């Protein structure tokens, strides 16, 4: 199946479906990534925080797929926000991944209660990394509208993407709309709410109607909404299931029925970006 691409605001393109390696053990990452690539995934999403960048690079090398056919994202760890640490840690990520270039580098969390509230200098240092050709695009993750406005107003540089928690129980439409209004592509993390959608009656009914699984219906919902999505599984059968979402469509009414499952803050699974302040030791 052909995965559609989205053109970012810097005119580079990103596959709309990717493969995430959050919580994949480092020792198992290379094999997991190689399997995902063999299934057909060409977009891989990792992070410094995950501790498995090296395995991602090894899996890519083992796959034999040409570098230019792959899209690779990593993210800045929360303990690397100071400009010197941004530059140092990017070098480390670059070495661990072992690639000629990285497609996308994100600030993982804004951390507004840390670093004296200064994530602007972090963003400025991120934008400077694109100058030597080893990094194609920079973006952010978990940024709310006020966070976006602050870095854009200060630097004039738009993030290419904003990766946020988004799923049927937290559609996060306000943040999505704010991102789109600024020309920023949205990526959805935790797209199936860590499996909670599997037992939802609305999604089960739609899955039965389309002859698909609840996971496939939910991932298709993200695609219909125009977001980039990257489910994670270490099992090849589930990887294939998650990849097979381009042979059916949801109607606008079906998309809206899923959106109405919104539980607001009660549906949030991860931390709220306004208060997230964890720094790894």
What are the catalytic residues? Answer: 50
Determine contact, residues 214/191, Cβ cutoff 8 Å.
Answer: no
Instruction: Write out 38-79 in H/E/C secondary structure.
Output: HHCCCEEECCHHHCCHHHHHHHHHHHCCCHHHCEEEEEECHH
139: left (phi over 0), alpha (psi -120 to 50) or beta: beta
Tokens of 184: 């920023």
Give the span between the Cα atoms of 181 and 193, in whole angstroms. 25
Determine contact, residues 42/68, Cβ cutoff 8 Å.
Answer: no
Give the span between the Cα atoms of 273 and 144, in whole angstroms. 7
Give the span between the Cα atoms of 96 and 94, in whole angstroms. 6
Give the span between the Cα atoms of 264 and 262, in whole angstroms. 6
Tokens of 69: 């056919």
């Amino acid at each position: 199946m052909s995965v559609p691409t989205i053109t970012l605001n810097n005119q580079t393109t990103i596959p709309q479906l990717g493969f995430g390696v959050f919580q994949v053990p480092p020792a198992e990452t290379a094999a997991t990534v190689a399997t995902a690539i063999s299934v057909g995934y060409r977009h891989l999403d990792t992070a410094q925080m995950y501790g498995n960048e090296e395995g991602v690079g090894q899996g890519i090398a083992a796959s034999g797929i040409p570098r230019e056919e792959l899209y690779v994202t990593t993210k800045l760890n929360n303990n690397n926000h100071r400009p010197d640490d941004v530059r140092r840690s990017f070098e480390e990520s670059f070495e661990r991944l072992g690639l000629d270039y990285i497609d996308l580098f994100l600030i993982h969390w804004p951390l507004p209660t840390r670093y004296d509230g200064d994530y602007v200098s972090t963003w400025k240092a991120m934008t400077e990394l694109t100058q030597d050709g080893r990094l194609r695009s920079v973006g952010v993750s978990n940024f709310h509208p006020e966070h976006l406005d602050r870095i854009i107003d200060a630097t004039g540089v738009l993030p290419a993407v904003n990766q946020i928690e988004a799923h049927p129980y937290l559609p996060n439409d306000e943040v999505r709309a704010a991102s789109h209004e600024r020309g920023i592509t949205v990526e959805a993390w935790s797209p199936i709410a860590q499996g909670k959608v599997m037992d939802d009656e609305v999604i089960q009914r739609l899955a039965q109607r389309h002859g698909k699984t609840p996971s496939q219906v939910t991932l298709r919902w993200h695609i219909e909404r125009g977001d980039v999505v990257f489910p994670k599984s270490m099992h090849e059968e589930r990887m294939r299931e998650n990849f097979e979402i381009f042979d059916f469509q949801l109607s606008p009414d079906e998309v809206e029925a899923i959106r109405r499952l919104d539980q607001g803050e009660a549906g949030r699974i991860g931390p709220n970006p306004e208060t997230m302040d964890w720094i790894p030791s």
